[in-house]
Structure formats: structure tokens, C-alpha cells
Amino acid sequence: MILVFGSINVDLVAPVPHLPQPGETVLGGDYALLPGGKGANQALAARRAGSEVVLAGAIGRDTFASIALSLLRRDGVDTRLVRELDRPTGCAAIMVSAAGENAIAVSPGVNSETRSDWVPDELLDPRTIVVAQMEVPFGETASLIRRARMRGARCLLNLAPALSLDPGLLSEIDLLVTNKREAMTLGPDPVELARRLRRGLVVTRGAAGAIVLLADGSALEVPALSVDPVDTTGAGDTFVGVLAAALNLGSSFEQALSRASAAAGLACLAYGAQTAMPDAEAIDVAMVRLPVVAPHLSRMP
């Protein structure tokens, strides 16, 4: 089982010809209100990839709440640990350029109230993979990771957004997943950082694929699926959710990385985060077009 602890948002997505510069107003096309939030996105990606998924988080008592949970409930994510509180549901304002690039601003709202003690101990055992991000209070995330490790669960942390990370937590984390920009905030020596993790550091690089720095000092290069992107929103969350799902379902580490990379590419082919996430069958088909994971000779991502 996968236990996702994280944010639940509504995304206000506006297509624009190009991302505005400071002080610039850009006229775009029709906006859409879509379900999002890194926690919810990763939960849905893992569920569509075939895993049993429980999501712990918070929504408000407002009209955005039903939008935020709509696809999670439709696709069978277990939302019993999602609490309804008296603050606004989280919201992200997303601009998507004609080239598929995005700029995102997030108002956390009720996500700031998410608490680790909402997750009961009985859901944390060696059969569980805990997946977390940085859009809910990090102290609560750290508390859950430590509790999960004490009970034998595996832990995957996505350092997004790139906020300060307690160095003492590294030894409790199996996999730390970042993008290239987020990885730069971790210090000058990612190889040394990877050695402090239980399994390693995964650095996603968009169309260049991903580099995995393992705790034993070796590295892997994960190719990207070749696509013409429509919207890259949610591709990183898709990578994380599918990686966790593949590991949970018994794939080898290399195969899990390949499935995550293929799914992330597919998630760039439509607008929105959750609305673009592929299912297991689509990932299977895309895997045929993806080169294999191979050893990486460079020390730096």
C-alpha cells in the first residue's frame, strides 16, 4: 500500500502565449478549474498505475473541495484520512505557455493545518511506502517519516517546493526526489548527500530524463520519453507517484524508474495535472519506446 501525506488543491489553469515578465500583463485563453496539489496528484498517479493508495490531507468547507477530490474519488483513492476544516481549500494559479512551460503560485489554505497524527500506526508497516512533499508543514512530514521508519515502512520524499530540509532526517528517507533546480538547494555535493540517504537521490531533468545517485556511490541514467509537450504541469508528480507504485507492486528499481519516466512524459500531452495522468495500460505501451536505464559515468547531475 502507498500512504500519501500531502497537499490537496484546486488548480486555476490559464493558457498564455508566453509566461509574463515582472510587471507584464499577458492576455490568455479560457481558464479551467482542475483538481491538483502535490499530495493529491501523486496519490492519483500511483492509483492509476495500479497501487492501493490512501491519502491523508485536508480540504475546506467550500465549493473548491468537491473539485479537489473529484478525480481521486472517481479513480478509487482512499480518502478516509482527508479532513474537512474551517479554512479555504488550497489553490494554485498556473500559467501555461504555448511552449508547454508553466509558472505556478500556490496559496496553501487549509493544507497548513495538515497533521501527521491523522495517520494511524496500523497503516505504517513494512508493506507501506510513505510518499510526502513540502506543501504541508514540514515538521508534520518529518514526524510521520520518523514514525513510519520506526515501524518498518519505506519513505519517499519529494523536495517540492525546495524548502529547508533537516539534515538529521536524511538517514530516515529511502528516496529523495528533486528536480534539477531543487537539487541545487541541497548543497555543492549531491553525491555525498545521496550517501546519507537509505537508497539514494533522484534528480529529474525534464526532457533530459533523470539521474539517480545511489547511496553506494554509483549512479544511473534514466532516459526520458520523447514527446511534444502540451503542458508540463504535474509531470514531476506523475514521476513520483508512478515510481512509488511500481516499487510497491514489486518492480525492480530500474524498471520502476523507467515506468516513472515514461508516465511523466505521457503526462505532458494534455492540459492539467491530474487530468493528464496516464493509467497502467498507457504506461505499458509507452515503455516499448523508452531506452533502458543505464549506468551514469558523471558524478554530477
Query: Residue 298: its pLDDT value, please?
Result: 57
> What's the DSSP call for residue 23?
T
> What's the DSSP call for residue 278?
-
Share of the chain above pLDDT 90, in %: 85
When the candidates are 3.40.50.2000, 3.40.50.300, 2.40.50.100, 3.40.1190.20, the CATH number that belongs to 2-20+29-295 is 3.40.1190.20
- In angstroms, the CA 146 to CA 153 distance is 10
Query: Residue 291: its pLDDT value, please?
Result: 85
Which residues lie below 8 Å from residue 12, measured CB to CB, with a gap of 6+?
31, 32, 33, 91, 92, 93, 94
Maximum CA extent, the chain? 52
Task: Tell me the per-residue pLDDT of 186-221, one tens digit each, with 9 for 90 and over.
Answer: 988 999 999 999 999 999 999 999 999 999 999 999
Query: Residue 171: its pLDDT value, please?
Result: 96
Active site residues: 237
Using the CB atoms, write b or e for 31-50: b if 16+ within 10 Å: eeebbbbbbbbbbbbbbbbb
- Are residues 192 and 212 in contact, defined by beta-carbon separation less than 8 angstroms? no
φ and ψ of 41, to 5 deg: -60, -50
Domain ranges of the chain: 2-20+29-295
Tens of pLDDT, residue by residue, the chain (301 residues): 999 999 999 999 999 999 999 999 999 999 999 999 999 999 999 999 999 999 999 999 999 999 999 999 999 999 999 999 999 999 989 898 998 888 989 899 999 999 999 999 999 999 999 999 999 999 999 999 999 999 999 999 999 998 888 889 999 999 999 999 999 999 889 999 999 999 999 999 999 999 999 999 999 999 999 999 998 889 999 999 999 999 999 999 999 999 999 999 999 999 888 999 999 999 999 999 888 888 876 554 4
Query: Residue 263: its pLDDT value, please?
Result: 97
Look at strands 210-214 and 219-222 and give their pairing. antiparallel
Query: Residue 296: its pLDDT value, please?
Result: 77
Query: Residue 297: its pLDDT value, please?
Result: 61
